[in-house]
Amino acid sequence: MFKVKTYNKISEKGLSRFNGGDYQVGADLEAPEAYILRSHKLHAEAIPESLLAVARAGAGVNNLPVEDYTAKGIVAFNTPGANANAVKELVLAGMLLASRDIIGGRDFANAQTQITDAADMGKLMEAEKKRFAGNELTGKTLGIVGLGAIGSMVADMALAMGMKVAGFDPALSVEAAWRLPALVERKENLQGLLACSDYVTIHVPAIEPTKNMFNSDSLAAAKDGLVLLNFAREAIVDTSAVLAALESGKLRKYVCDFPEPAVINRSDVIALPHIGASTAEAEENCAMMAANQLRDFLEHGNIVNSVNFPVTTMGPVEGYRLTFSNQNVSGVLGNVLSIFKELDVNVIDMVNKSRGDLAYSIIDLAEMPTAEVIAAVQAVEHVIRVRVVAAK
C-alpha cells in the first residue's frame, strides 16, 4: 500500500489513475510515500522520513525544496508541456486585452444602466467608441524570453497572427530548438530582444539567473511603449522597475499573472490571479501525467520527467528489483556489485544513470534480496537511498 498525499485541488481524472492500484490518496495522510500538488509551497514544511517522491502537477518547481529532496534521495517530478497550451492561449488574450480597450469598453457599456431606449444607447455607443480604440497585433514584433514548452507554442501562435517573432534563450535544449519555427529570429541577449519588440512575453523558470532579470537596467533598453507580459513568476520581474517604466511611458501596459499590491487597480496593468494553467484540459493533463509518473516510480522504480534525478527506466518489474540513489562519485556501483558477489545475489539486468552530482541505478535480481543484502547496499559509502520493488 502506498499513501499519496494531495495538496491543492488535483483533477479527479488524474487522481483516478491511482484506482486499480494499492493506493490510499487524500489530503490528511500520515507518513505518505508521495505527494501530488500544484502551487502549494513546501519549503517551510518538515520532510517525512517516509517520503520517496513528489509530483508537481505543472511546470514550475520553485515551490519545492528540490535540493533538500535530492540530499534525501527523494525524486521530484514535474509535467513538462502539460499546461503549455493553456498559458499560450492566455498570452494571446493578454496581448489582445493590452492592445484593444476591451475592459474599458465593457465597463463603459455596462455603466449605462440609466438608458432604456435602444436608439439612445446605440447613439451613445457610436459617439463614445473612439475612446476605446486600439491597435492590431499583425505586423508587430513579439519578443519571447524562454523558448521551451510554452515559449515555442507562443511563437507558433504569434506567427499565425501575422506577428514577427524574436526569441532569447541562452539555455535552449536541442529538443526545444527542433520544436521552434524557423521564422523565430534569435537574439543574443535580453537587451537586443527588448530593443526590437513591441510586446515581450516571459516564459523562463524562476531560478537564480532569472531573478529580477527584468529590472531598471534591462528595461531601459526597451522600445518606448512596450507591452510586457509575465505569465512566468513574480521573482523574474522587479515590480518597482516596472512601475517606474509605466510612469515614464517606457512600458505601455504590464500584463501579469502574479500581481503584487502595488500593481492592483491601475489602468495600465492587467493583473490576473495565477490562472495561466487554470483550464479543465491543463489541470487534467498535468494531474494525469503526474499520477502516471508517480505510479511508474512507486511500483517499478522508473523515473521520467524528474527535475533532480536522471531519466532511468527498465520497463515494468517482472520479478524483484532493487533501486538505489547515490552521490555521483566513482566506485559506488562497483562496491554494490561486490556485495552481490559476496552474498551470492544474481543480477539479471541493470541500468545506471547520472545527472550532475547524483546517480541512480535499477537492478533486476533473480530473487528477493534479503534484509542483509539491503542493509549492506544501504551501508555502501555515498549511497543515499535503497528501495526494493517486486512484481504483484
Ligand X SMILES: NC(=O)C1=CN([C@@H]2O[C@H](COP(=O)(O)OP(=O)(O)OC[C@H]3O[C@@H](n4cnc5c(N)ncnc54)[C@H](O)[C@@H]3O)[C@@H](O)[C@H]2O)C=CC1
Closest approach of ligand X to the CB of residue 317, in Å: 30
Among the listed residues 162, 165, 240, the one whose alpha carbon sits nearest the alpha carbon of residue 200: 165
CA-to-CA separations, 170 to 189, 195, 205, in angstroms, rounded: 8, 17, 13
Among 25, 36, 84, 363, binds ligand X (CB under 6 A): 84
**Binding of residue 285 to ligand X (CB under 6 A):** no
Residue 50 to residue 218: CA distance in whole angstroms: 45
Among the listed residues 321, 315, 390, 329, the one whose alpha carbon sits nearest the alpha carbon of residue 361: 321
355: helix, strand or coil: strand
- Please list the residues that pair with 3 across neighbouring strands: 24
Among the listed residues 188, 189, 175, 179, the one whose alpha carbon sits nearest the alpha carbon of residue 154: 179
Q: Please give the sequence-ordered ranges of beta strands (E in DSSP) within 146-256, or none if there are none.
A: 164-168, 185-186, 199-202, 226-230, 251-256
Site string for ligand AKG, 80-99 (x = CB under 6 A): ---x----------------
Active-site residue set: 233, 260, 274
**Which residue number, 6 or 83, has a Cβ lying nearer to ligand AKG?**
83
Residue nearest to ligand X (CB): 148
User: Helix count (H) and strand count (E) of the chain?
Assistant: 13, 16
Among 88, 233, 253, 295, binds ligand X (CB under 6 A): 233
Contact partner at residue 192 from ligand X, ligand AKG, none, CB < 5 to 8 Å by partner kind: none
Contact partner at residue 32 from ligand AKG, ligand X, none, CB < 5 to 8 Å by partner kind: none
Closest approach of ligand X to the CB of residue 273, in Å: 10
Which helix (H) or strand (E) covers residue 356, if one does? none
Beta-carbon count within 10 A of 157 CB: 18
All cell numbers assigned to 390? 517486486
Contact partner at residue 238 from ligand AKG, ligand X, none, CB < 5 to 8 Å by partner kind: none
- In our burial notation (b when 16+ CB lie closer than 10 A, e otherwise), range 277-291 reads bbbeebbbbbbbbbb
Closest approach of ligand AKG to the CB of residue 60, in Å: 3
Site string for ligand X, 120-149 (x = CB under 6 A): -------------------------xxxxx
**Binding of residue 38 to ligand AKG (CB under 6 A):** yes
**Binding of residue 170 to ligand X (CB under 6 A):** yes
**Which residue number, 78 or 312, has a Cβ lying nearer to ligand X?**
78
Residue 81 to residue 28: CA distance in whole angstroms: 29
Q: Quote the DSSP letter at residue 237.
A: B
Site string for ligand X, 93-122 (x = CB under 6 A): ------------------------------
Residue 267 to residue 310: CA distance in whole angstroms: 46
Closest approach of ligand AKG to the CB of residue 358, in Å: 23
Site string for ligand AKG, 277-316 (x = CB under 6 A): xx--------------------------------------
Residue 81 to residue 66: CA distance in whole angstroms: 20
Among 161, 206, 339, 347, binds ligand X (CB under 6 A): 206
Among 51, 59, 98, 298, binds ligand AKG (CB under 6 A): 59
Among 29, 48, 50, 60, binds ligand AKG (CB under 6 A): 60
Binding residues for ligand X, rule: CB under 6 A, are 58-60, 80, 83-84, 87, 145-151, 168-172, 176, 203-206, 209-210, 231-233, 257, 274, 276-277
Binding residues for ligand AKG, rule: CB under 6 A, are 38-39, 58-60, 83, 277-278
